[in-house]
Each structure stands twice: as structure tokens, then as C-alpha cells.
Amino acid sequence: MTTTPDLTGMEQERLRAHVAEVLTRARSRSTALTDAVDDDDLTRQHSRLMSPLVWDLAHIGNQEELWLVRDVGGRDPVRQDIDELYDAFKHARVDRPALPLLGPAEARGYVNEVRDKVLDVLDHAVLEGRPLVEGAFAFGMIAQHEQQHDETMLATHQLRAGAPVLDAPAPPRGRRLPAAEVLVPAGPFTMGTSTEPWALDNERPAHQVQVDAFVIDVAAVTNADYAAFIDAGGYDDPRWWSVPGWAHRQDTGITAPRFWTRIDGAWWHRQFGVPQPLALHQPVVHVSFHEAAAYAAWAGKRLPTEAEWEKAARHDPATGRSRRYPWGDEDPGPQHANLGQRHLAPAEAGAYPAGASPLGVQQLIGDVWEWTSSDFHPYPGFAPFPYDEYSLVFFGADYKVLRGGSFGTDAVACRGTFRNWDYPIRRQIFAGFRCARDPRAEELG
Ligand SMILES: [Fe+2]
């Protein structure tokens, strides 16, 4: 962790107010997602890939209790007897419905009791002096954790059968893109961060990376683009698929992104229980890494590496420094990106010109998580913090890195440096992709 200079009283108060705000925002979202359905829906498993919603809720409270009530606050446990039930490493998602979980009323009472204690801890905690509390890190980590589960719960809602229960205004319409692709010149850039106070261990430390010149798409691949791949027989042509990708395609029999159906020759997709004609200009979502890579090969391109993605998002050629976000250092606002479940769909290509990177790449933040070609590895100088199970146990070739956040991701859990990871076969997450390619000789002039 970076140490910050001693905070003045006023800075401590400002930090406390910020923490209270992000914790409250996370809780409003958890409450909305769990109050939207009845007790039967809360306790049922909607997919073997997901926990019952009531597990997520009490798990959110349990992590908050462990880190903020017990560790930061040094207070007595609230419900030590349930620690094991809500330890994500002890029980696979598929087994969670059979556990003696807290019921909906008990879970709500528990998370409220924990939160009351946490707000009291926040009032009294000294937000410096040891890495866990420096810059209110543990509070930021817990707010991010709750928001990550809120995104997972949103994915559970997307998998849930039955009448629609969520509603939100449509995202902004797209605009004409200034170009289809941009060239990112060769050279070093600073990847990762050593200064972002709430960055997680896998985003650290900042380090220089040399990146060859590459060309990247200004926007993510749209539903119309992806439908063209299907129409061209892309799912039936092993030339476009990696060996494991083709095996997965054969084993599962997939022929389109998840939640797509063809009716009388026209594609429809289901968003949170509402069937609608395929939104042609929205980014494709609910595709696996293997599908993304196959599309890119068919298009004569490839997925960007994680370093390429981050350079396209953060590198400012005018100053040589890396920005916190594509548009600059200011926190995301509604003009920059489709984040925070304000809309329940990704926005069309070109909808957020104010969020463009210095080189003109758009919508890198928000809308859909973007698959990269990179496995999840630690950065040079990585140190596990505050516990091994946050990232360390996931490093390796089993997982592919996703970047940028989705419409379901909150701003607190989304940065130019933020790294997500998942299995290359996963499709229930809000993931799409954009393509990259090597430049042609004449483009390098
Ligand atoms: Fe968790």
C-alpha cells in the first residue's frame, strides 16, 4: 500500500462522508435487488451458476462484519456462528441452497445490524496508521465487495424465469463514430497503480510496459456485427475457433449468445424477463471468451491483450502519463459511461463521446465487460493484500481477464486499472468484447 501524508481533521471528515455515501449507495442497490422478488424467489436457486439471492445478501453482511466490525472496529462478533456458511471458499455455489441459510427476514435483520455497527466504527476509526485503514481502504474494499455482489445479483435476475420485476430508463442512443478503429503507437506506458487508494491488490503496483503498435476498435462489437458472424456460419466453422473453444462449442451445442432466440427468421433477446427484438446497435453481451475470440478471428482480427486494452484506455500521449479513466482523472459521471445499473442494458455504440480516451477510443468503461486475450497473472512486484484469497489463489491460465465494467457495475468498483477475471466458457456475466489487430506496414508509415 502507498502511504498518504497524514490527513487533516477536515480531510478525515470528508473521507468519512465519502465512505458513508458509497456504503449507502451499495446498500440501496442490494435492497432494491432483493426487495424486487418474493421470499420464494429469494431462497430459490435460479441457476446452478449462481447463489440464492438470500445467500448473497447475508454474505455481504458477513464480509462487512469480518472486516469492518471485527478487524477495523475491534468489536465483538455479531454472528460468528454463521461465518462458515457464508465463506465463499467453503461451499460451491451449486451447494449453497442446501445449507441452513438465514431466511430472508433474518438476513435483512443481520445486514442492518452489521451496518449500524459499521457506521459507528466509521465515526470513530482513525483512517491512517496501518495499511488496512489507510485512506479508508477496508471500507472501500467492502463497498466494492457489496457492489460486486450487486452485479452478481443482477446477473441472477437476468437468469431468473418469471415475470419481469426490474425496470429502468433506456440507455442513451448511439451516435456516429468518428472512425471505426484507431492506431495506438508503439511505446511504453504505465500499467496498474500504486496511488489509487481503493485499488485492489491485483491492480498494483504501477509498472512500465512496452507495447508494440496496435489497432483497436473505437467501439465494442455490436449485436448486428455478431449476427453477421452467425449468418456467415461462424458457429459451424472450426477455422475460427481455438481447440478448446471448438470443443466447448461442440459439447454445449451453442449457436448464438445466451438469451438470444430466432423467431420467424428474426433475432430476439431477453433482457431481465422482457423479450425484445435484437437491439442491433448495442454491444453484444452474454458471450463467452471462446465466442469472442472466434468472432475476432472471423473478422480478421483478434482480442486485445490486457496491456493493449489498458494502454488504449489510460495512456495520454500528450503527457505520457496514465489517466485514472479514459476521459481523465475525475470520477465517472452519467455523461462519461453507462455504469451503476442506471440502465438495464448496454448503450449503443457512440452513446458516450464525453467518455472517449485521448486517442478517441469510446465506451471502454461501462456497458459491457470486455474479454481480453490475457490470462490472469500478477503484476511484477505483486503482494497479496489484505488476504491471499482476494486474487492470489486465482492467478494462472484458468481465467481470462475482463476489463472496463458493465452497465451493472458501480463506479466504486470500476477504474481504468480494475481487473476482473472469469472462466473462458462463462456467459452469464455482462460480457462482450472489442477487437484489435496488428497494424499493416503502410499504417505505420
Ligand atoms: Fe464475496
CA 57 – ligand 1 centroid, Å:
10
State how far the Cα of 278 lies from the Cα of 270, in Å rounded to an integer. 9
Q: What are the phi and psi torsion angles at 283 (to 5°)?
A: -60, 145
State how far the Cα of 24 lies from the Cα of 21, in Å rounded to an integer. 5
CA 439 – ligand 1 centroid, Å:
41
CA 5 – ligand 1 centroid, Å:
31
Which tens digits make up the pLDDT trace of 287-326? 999 999 999 999 999 999 999 999 999 999 999 999 999 9
Count of alpha carbons within 13 angstroms of residue 184, beta-carbon side: 31
CA 20 – ligand 1 centroid, Å:
20
CA 396 – ligand 1 centroid, Å:
20
Do 403 and 421 meet the contact criterion of CB atoms below 8 Å apart? no
Pairing of strands 266-271, 260-263: antiparallel
Which tens digits make up the pLDDT trace of 15-55? 999 999 999 999 999 999 999 999 999 999 999 999 999 99
CA 150 – ligand 1 centroid, Å:
10
pLDDT reported for residue 2: 44
In sequence order, the 6+-apart residues with CB closer than 8 A to the CB of 32 are: none
CA 141 – ligand 1 centroid, Å:
11
State how far the Cα of 361 lies from the Cα of 183, in Å rounded to an integer. 10
pLDDT reported for residue 276: 95
What letter represents residue 264's amino acid? D
CA 273 – ligand 1 centroid, Å:
26
CA 93 – ligand 1 centroid, Å:
11
CA 276 – ligand 1 centroid, Å:
32
CA 169 – ligand 1 centroid, Å:
29
Measure the N-to-C terminal CA separation of the chain; round to a whole number of Å: 43
Full pLDDT tens readout for the chain, 445 residues: 444 557 788 899 999 999 999 999 999 999 999 999 999 999 999 999 999 999 999 999 999 999 999 999 999 999 999 999 999 899 988 888 889 999 999 999 999 999 999 999 999 998 988 999 999 999 999 999 999 999 999 999 999 998 999 999 999 999 999 999 999 999 999 999 999 999 999 999 999 999 999 999 999 999 999 999 999 999 999 999 999 999 999 999 999 999 999 999 999 999 999 999 999 999 999 999 999 999 999 999 999 999 999 999 999 999 999 999 999 999 999 999 999 999 999 999 999 999 999 999 999 999 999 999 999 999 999 999 998 888 999 999 999 999 999 999 999 999 999 999 999 999 999 999 999 999 999 999 7
CA 338 – ligand 1 centroid, Å:
24
pLDDT reported for residue 167: 95
CA 154 – ligand 1 centroid, Å:
14
One DSSP character per residue, 239-285 reads: GGS-HHHHHHHHHH---S-TTEEEETTEEEEEETTEEEE--TTSBP-
CA 68 – ligand 1 centroid, Å:
15
State how far the Cα of 251 lies from the Cα of 241, in Å rounded to an integer. 14
pTM, rounded to two decimals: 0.96
CA 421 – ligand 1 centroid, Å:
14
CA 174 – ligand 1 centroid, Å:
34
CA 352 – ligand 1 centroid, Å:
31
CA 147 – ligand 1 centroid, Å:
10
pLDDT reported for residue 5: 55
CA 149 – ligand 1 centroid, Å:
6
CA 409 – ligand 1 centroid, Å:
15
CA 403 – ligand 1 centroid, Å:
19
CA 88 – ligand 1 centroid, Å:
6
CA 224 – ligand 1 centroid, Å:
35
CA 86 – ligand 1 centroid, Å:
9
CA 218 – ligand 1 centroid, Å:
33
pLDDT reported for residue 355: 98
CA 59 – ligand 1 centroid, Å:
7
CA 142 – ligand 1 centroid, Å:
9
CA 301 – ligand 1 centroid, Å:
36
